[in-house]
Amino acid sequence: MRPRTKKTVTLIAIFAFISAVLSIYFLWETDLSRYDELEKRFVEYYELEKSGKWGKAITYRTPVIQRAIETDYYISQMHIDDKGWKLKSYKIRHIEKEHNKIKIAVDFVQQPSKEFISKIGVYAGNLSEANEITFKEWSVWKKIDGVWYCEDAASRGHLPLNAALAFDDT
């Protein structure tokens, strides 16, 4: 093999190795399955949000939150809040372990209500042609007595999306 060809083959092999290592690293950085049952709980919780099943969703919140908020009040407030937005999808971007918590960076894609769009129009230039807004926020989870609970579900701009409804004096 000629020296130039040998260098090229070596560089290609090094590049392929580095690419493989980086691919594994980024896959690892978004893989919740390495935390016992967290992926299942995370998906179940946000699917409950998508379907508006707030009575079941609150059972995924930490026991402190469950004790602090009366379930009926939580459900009624979330139904009101749900009028301003609809969670369409979510995608995990990054995972960080911080002490006894797992912080999950998530892209949340939401669809504002027709009332929001008609009263406010384009929301700070973030509204796509599909009438969707993407929020990048953290969802924080904590394992308590062997079960993963959502400590912070991320606001995702719920209140800004509901501003037109909340302050409507008609």
pLDDT score for 53: 95
DSSP 105-119: EEEEEEEE-HHHHHH
* pLDDT one digit per residue (tens) for the chain, 170 residues: 566 677 776 666 565 555 544 444 444 465 777 888 999 999 999 999 999 999 999 999 999 989 988 999 989 888 887 777 888 999 999 899 888 899 999 999 988 877 766 666 554 455 555 678 888 888 999 999 999 999 988 775 555 555 554 444 33
Question: Beta 133-144 vs 147-152: how paired, if at all?
Answer: antiparallel
pLDDT of residue 62: 92
Task: Give the model's pLDDT for residue 58.
Answer: 93
Confirm whether pTM is higher than 0.75. Answer: no
User: Tell me, what's the pLDDT at 57?
Assistant: 94
> In terms of Cα–Cα distance, which of 110, 109, 106 is closest to 152?
106
Residue 162: how many CB atoms within 10 A of its CB?
A: 20
> Which CATH entry fits the domain spanning 33-166: 1.10.10.10, 3.40.50.2300, 3.40.50.2000, 3.10.450.100?
3.10.450.100
Q: Can you name the residues that pair with 89 across neighbouring β-strands?
A: 109
| Structural domain boundaries in the chain | 1-30, 33-166
